Structure 1
């Protein structure tokens, strides 16, 4: 079955266009390879697709640079020199821009003003005033942000303090956390053994009408009391509990 003749024009469908490009590229590279082998020719093909992909075929016995160098000799042109001249021209422009920028920086620092005319100086003053205005605006904005940050931190500290005070008040109202209340036990809170501290006083000699038995019991009573108050023992001492 004979193939239909394809009209030579741009293929609108992108998918079909890419498929056709891939098939024809492979066919073209195949023909170039056959030509280079059969005829001992130097063939170099460079192709760039619409998606900016580079495809190249070069005869295996040579390099692309060798083919281009031979092309320059045959045609009589210097592709590298032209490219070098363009690069030199671009470098010259960049150096000029750099020189002008450096001069502008020195002038803004109050240097290299000798060659400036009146209008240039006026323009420089206006530029500096504009720069100062923008810098001050930025400065005030930074200060405002710092003040607002400080206020937020202060509010956080106040909130923490408020919560701590509320927690403290809650513990004060809770009997579990109260140390001593109106009816609290001071001895148990302070940790004094045997009823707490005592006041110790000297006891004068007993009257003669006390009998020996009564005197002996009384001394035993005070000795026990002294023992409770600190382990002392003396028959002539009278002790009184401190917190009674």
Structure 2
């Protein structure tokens, strides 16, 4: 026996609305997983609740970025402009710069250690109390 039909309209009671949102969100994520497994479809789902909290699902065989790129190519719609593309490239370059900086710091420490080892032994050893001989 099926369930009764409900009128699709905003639920006024906030507690009931939140419970319904949570149950339906979980249900739609479950359906996305099922269609991925049953049909080998590439599925991506993003849900934002009224609080701003994000929930997402993406098929294991793909990435969200691949899905969005495919959508952009298939539909001919630009999802983001050149500014966003530039920011994406800058973020990637920033990651590369961090790696280069860390490598440079490593080489600098290596050079300093090498220079220290090349110093004459007399310059490396400094007495902790230089006036110790004078006191005796």
**TM-score (norm: length of structure 1):** 0.33
Aligned to 1:79, the other structure's residue is in SS state: coil
Closer, same or farther: CA 78–5 of 1 in aligned 2, 3 Å: closer
* 1:68 match: 68
* 1:57 match: 57
Find the structure with the greater CA-based Rg: 1
Deviation at 1:54, TM superposition (A): 0.3
Deviation at 1:76, TM superposition (A): 1.7
Give me the whole-angstrom Cα distance separating, in 1, the residues matched to 2:52 and 2:78. Answer: 26
Deviation readout 1:17-36 (Å, 9 max, x if unpaired) = 01000001111111111101
Deviation at 1:2, TM superposition (A): 5.0
Instruction: Pick 1 or 2: higher relative contact order, CA cutoff 8 A, min separation 6.
Output: 2
Deviation readout 1:176-222 (Å, 9 max, x if unpaired) = xxxxxxxxxxxxxxxxxxxxxxxxxxxxxxxxxxxxxxxxxxxxxxx
Closer, same or farther: CA 39–12 of 1 in aligned 2, 3 Å: same
Closer, same or farther: CA 15–32 of 1 in aligned 2, 3 Å: same
Give me the whole-angstrom Cα distance separating, in 1, the residues matched to 2:43 and 2:52. Answer: 22
* 2:42 match: 42
Count of matched residue positions in the alignment of Structure 1 and Structure 2: 86
**Runs of 4+ with deviation above 4 angstroms:** none
RMSD of aligned C-alpha atoms? 2.0
Correspondence 1:159-198 to 2 at 5 A: none
Give me the whole-angstrom Cα distance separating, in 2, the residues matched to 1:17 and 1:32. Answer: 22
Correspondence 1:17-32 to 2 at 5 A: 17-32=17-32
Give me the whole-angstrom Cα distance separating, in 2, the residues matched to 1:17 and 1:83. Answer: 38
Deviation at 1:7, TM superposition (A): 1.0
Structure 1 unmatched runs, 5+: 88-244
Give me the whole-angstrom Cα distance separating, in 2, the residues matched to 1:14 and 1:6. Answer: 18
Deviation readout 1:78-129 (Å, 9 max, x if unpaired) = 32325549x9xxxxxxxxxxxxxxxxxxxxxxxxxxxxxxxxxxxxxxxxxx
**TM-score (norm: length of structure 2):** 0.57
* 1:16 match: 16
